[in-house]
Amino acid sequence: MLKLLIVEDDVALGAGLQAALTDAGFDVQWVTDGLVALQTLEATSFHAMVLDITLPGLDGVSLLQRLRNDANKLPVLMLTARDTTRDKVQCFEAGADDFLVKTTDMEELIARLRALIRRSGHIGHLQVGDLTLDVDSQSVVLAGQSLNVSGSEFKVLRVLMEEAGQVVPRSRLEQALFGPRRSGDSNVLEVHIHHLRQKIGDARLNTVRGVGYTITLPKK
């Protein structure tokens, strides 16, 4: 499961972000102070951070500058209450990867975060319930048992687990398999999905007819 750090001192907004991102399948930690965030980053690894500009203890821009000065490449999406050119320039000069105003639709925020994490390659392993995928070793483990998956099956499963709980369009999975050049055989993806279902179980991998596929999040 992808781990996110939210640094936001507005209690209502922070709670809302934590709830929405948790529902989207992220493992979320939320702090309200810049200095606490810095200490948290020193103790725990994350896949991305959502960072407010105005914070107690240490403001967001200064926190980001410290990270970049230490060669920390963690993907960072900055939040601000104002959509001004000055704010954007300040954030990007400090090393931000993306920038959004606080009124942004939550679905857009989630999509931007996933895109940042994908582009950065900042993923060591993914976990959904008792299913774990290790990107570095190209291995998959289910309930403590290693699964024998092909390279193509691994590519499909990785994309599905990156967006666990969300419907992944067929086109996205085909691009992961074949790159920009699509295969002429429309059944190739279905074959890999069928094999994955046999290995991880029908209940984990669902078809959304006419749209794509989704990995089901475990019930809380």
pLDDT at 75: 92
pLDDT at 64: 94
1.10.10.10, 3.40.50.880, 3.30.1360.40, 2.60.40.10: which CATH number matches 125-215? 1.10.10.10
Per the CB < 8 A criterion, the answer to whether 42 and 74 are in contact is no
pLDDT at 130: 87
Give residue for tokens 């690894």.
45
Q: Burial, 119: exposed, middle or buried (Cβ in 10 Å; 0-12, 13-18, 19+)?
A: exposed
At 122, is the pLDDT very low, low, confident or very high (cuts 50, 70, 90)?
Answer: low
User: In the chain, what are the domain boundaries?
Assistant: 3-120, 125-215
Q: Write out the CATH class of domain 3-120.
A: alpha beta
Distance between CA atoms of residues 53 and 38, nearest Å: 14
Q: What is the DSSP letter of 4?
A: E
**∠55-96-123 over CA atoms, to 5°?**
105
Query: Mean pLDDT across the stretch 136-165?
Result: 89
pLDDT tens readout for residues 65-97: 999 998 888 899 999 887 778 888 888 999 999
pLDDT tens readout for residues 48-67: 999 999 899 999 999 999 99
